[in-house]
């Protein structure tokens, strides 16, 4: 039978059958890998939670073969001769490849390792190539495969930057309870029990016709559609049902116009923030609770829990949509826009942007949790600012102390915070979150040796942007936060004050490793434009110093001219009492001293007292 006789094939295949010793290409016009933190977090959470529902510590490896299959959706392939091209599903397959690459490294040195190399790459005539064959990703994927890290060049494509960021997040996303004896069981299950429907067409026209049909929103019922159907069916027919239906469509469409799948994300976030009281215990055999179930099947969860959340009469169901959903969806829309679309330095929601830029998606449930439909606008803004500031302080402290901020690391703690602040007044909210920070045992004083490494470079970029912008605004100038975080045409990089030349520092460091370690300390770091780094990277400190004066104020503060010709900055130095000083030369002790200055600035930026001040109408 020829290809023209076989227009479409569709068959369920395991991950191993889809990837092992297979080679896929991606058309040039859809090559970008675009998944963000939330999509990867949801994929890993869905897979690991589904496995943990089945796994018991007493099981044998062969028992995994009896576990029910897990359906992960479909992919669409256009078969062009001998070469399959991915039409739909490359985001999922790329993310699975990243997960497999992570699991391969996680197994290093184990006697019970599961060989998954051929799901990631294949070798022919001595040449290794990745099964997802995209030329501009190969260098990055090879580095992740061999070393588990890759420093993307400044001009790297979007896909490469996303690959690096998503891979780094897997360390925090993958649960601890699967890293020991359960690990080979999970990998067996992932390979041989997780399934995709692979739909293969033998012409591009057929492939894209299938793609368009499957993605036509009018032809499939989503969990949001099923929830809406249940809610509408439970309220009075006629005008109430029509009004609720119109409002539902209006509000979810408005959210989807702000971000992809925002309507569905809102429903999960809203229901979790207001109604979830339990989360799966972080131990083997833990079962999904309401927080987990809302994340995977919120429509089924609500049907089974409607009485518990107060939906008993037709009027209850009506008010749930036209009152509650309307209120919380508007607040969620504000959060979404504050996360990415707009930035006002004086807005109470500015902290939402700071936290979003660190990839912290768990903040959204915290922001909605204390809100009540009776709150006026002033109260809403107060509560959101208090929660945003709290999250901002918590993340900054954790980063400063080399603590993970990833989804899986933080989800249990953030669930408990969310539950404990539900419906609180602004004053009670501020005191509760202040006490939480006081009891964490972490502060900027608890680590005087913060340094940059491959995994925290992006986070330190964000912290340095905040330090720099605090000085800028405090000196009477306009905020440059968006510019410093690469939201404009100027690209900034974390740059060392010292050039990477050990021979200039042999009088203080006899070994290169000691020099390199000291050079990476926070006090030797600045944010500078890429073109500045390209021009002066290897110059001596003394040669760079005159040029620092023309850069942002954190860099300019190294130069004595800043203390003579900058009245706004001089006033800030005086009013803050911070130990700013110029350096004619920059030695090892100066790196430490400068790092202490950064720490003192951080204590002013991320000060828990500000939570109480906001609640009392200050700050």
Three-state SS at 166? helix
In whole angstroms, give the CA distance from residue 331 to residue 388.
Answer: 14
Confirm if 160 and 151 have CB atoms less than 8 A apart: no
pLDDT score of 565:
78
Residue 175, number of CB atoms within 10 A of its CB: 21
Task: Determine phi and psi for 394, rounding to 5 degrees.
Answer: -60, -45
What pLDDT, on the 0 to 100 scale, is given for residue 5? 47
| Range list of H helices, 510-586 | 512-519, 530-536, 541-548, 553-556, 567-576
H or E element that contains 54: helix 37-54
Segment-wise mean pLDDT, segments of 10 residues, the chain, 619 residues: 54 88 72 81 87 88 91 81 78 92 92 90 74 85 89 82 90 86 94 88 67 52 87 92 95 93 94 96 77 91 95 97 98 96 92 94 96 97 98 97 86 95 98 96 92 90 97 96 91 94 96 96 96 88 95 96 93 96 97 98 97 88
Say what the pTM is: 0.79
Q: Which residues touch 388 (CB under 8 Å, ≥6 apart)?
A: 348, 349, 350, 351, 352, 354, 355, 363, 367
What whole-number distance in Å separates Cα of residue 288 and Cα of residue 50? 9
What are the b/e assignments for 524-560, b being 16+ CB within 10 Å? bbbbbbeebbeebeeeebeebbebbbebbbbbbbbbe
């Amino acid at each position: 039978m020829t290809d023209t006789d076989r227009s479409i094939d569709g068959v369920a295949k395991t991950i191993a059958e889809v990837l092992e010793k297979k080679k896929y290409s991606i058309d040039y016009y859809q090559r970008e890998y675009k998944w963000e933190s939330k999509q990867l977090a949801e994929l890993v959470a869905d897979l690991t939670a589904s496995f943990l529902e089945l796994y018991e510590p007493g099981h044998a490896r062969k028992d995994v073969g009896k576990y029910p299959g897990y359906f992960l959706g479909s992919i669409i392939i256009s078969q062009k001769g001998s070469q399959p091209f991915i039409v739909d599903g490359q985001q999922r397959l790329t993310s699975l490849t990243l997960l497999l690459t992570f699991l391969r490294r996680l197994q290093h040195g184990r006697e019970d390792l599961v060989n998954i190399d051929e799901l990631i790459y294949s070798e022919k005539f001595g040449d290794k190539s990745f099964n997802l064959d995209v030329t501009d990703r190969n260098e990055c994927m090879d580095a992740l495969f061999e070393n588990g890290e890759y420093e993307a060049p400044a001009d790297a494509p979007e896909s490469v930057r996303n690959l690096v960021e998503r891979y780094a997040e897997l360390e925090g996303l993958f649960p601890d309870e699967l890293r020991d004896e359960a690990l080979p069981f999970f990998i067996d299950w992932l390979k041989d029990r997780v399934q995709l429907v692979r739909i293969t067409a033998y012409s591009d026209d057929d492939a894209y016709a299938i793609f368009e049909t499957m993605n036509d929103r009018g032809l499939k019922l989503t969990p949001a559609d099923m929830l809406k159907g249940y809610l509408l069916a439970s309220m009075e027919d006629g005008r109430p049902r029509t009004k609720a239906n119109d409002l539902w469509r209006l509000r979810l469409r408005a959210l989807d116009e702000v971000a992809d799948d925002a309507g569905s994300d809102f429903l999960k976030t809203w229901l979790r923030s207001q109604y979830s009281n339990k989360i799966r215990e972080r131990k083997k055999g833990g079962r999904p609770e309401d927080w987990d179930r809302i994340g995977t099947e919120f429509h089924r969860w609500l049907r089974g829990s409607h009485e518990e959340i107060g939906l008993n009469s037709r009027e209850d169901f009506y008010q749930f949509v036209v009152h509650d959903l309307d209120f919380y969806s508007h607040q969620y829309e504000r959060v979404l826009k504050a996360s990415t679309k707009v930035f006002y330095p004086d807005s109470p929601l500015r902290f939402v942007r700071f936290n979003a830029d660190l990839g912290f998606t768990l903040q959204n449930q915290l922001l909605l949790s204390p809100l009540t439909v009776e709150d006026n606008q002033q109260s809403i803004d107060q509560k959101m600012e208090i929660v945003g500031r709290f999250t901002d302080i918590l993340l900054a402290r954790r980063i400063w102390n080399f603590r993970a901020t990833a989804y899986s690391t933080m989800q249990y703690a953030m669930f408990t915070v969310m539950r404990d602040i539900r419906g609180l007044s602004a004053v009670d909210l501020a005191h509760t979150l202040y006490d939480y920070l006081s009891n964490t045992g972490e502060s900027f004083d608890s680590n005087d040796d913060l340094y940059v490494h491959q995994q925290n470079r992006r986070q330190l970029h964000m912290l340095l942007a905040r330090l720099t912008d605090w000085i800028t605004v405090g000196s009477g100038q306009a905020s440059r936060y968006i510019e410093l975080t690469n939201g404009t045409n100027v690209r900034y990089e974390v740059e060392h004050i010292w050039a990477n030349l050990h021979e200039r520092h042999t009088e203080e460091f006899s070994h290169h490793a000691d020099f390199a370690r000291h050079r990476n300390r926070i006090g030797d770091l600045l944010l500078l434009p890429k073109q500045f780094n390209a021009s002066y990277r290897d110059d001596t400190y003394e040669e760079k110093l005159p040029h620092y004066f023309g850069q942002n104020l954190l860099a300019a503060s190294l130069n004595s001219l800043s203390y003579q010709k900058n009245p706004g900055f001089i006033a800030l130095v005086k009013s803050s009492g911070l130990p700013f000083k110029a350096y004619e030369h920059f030695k090892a002790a100066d790196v430490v001293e400068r790092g202490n200055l950064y720490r003192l600035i951080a204590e002013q930026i991320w000060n828990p007292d500000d939570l109480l001040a906001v609640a009392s109408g200050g700050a």
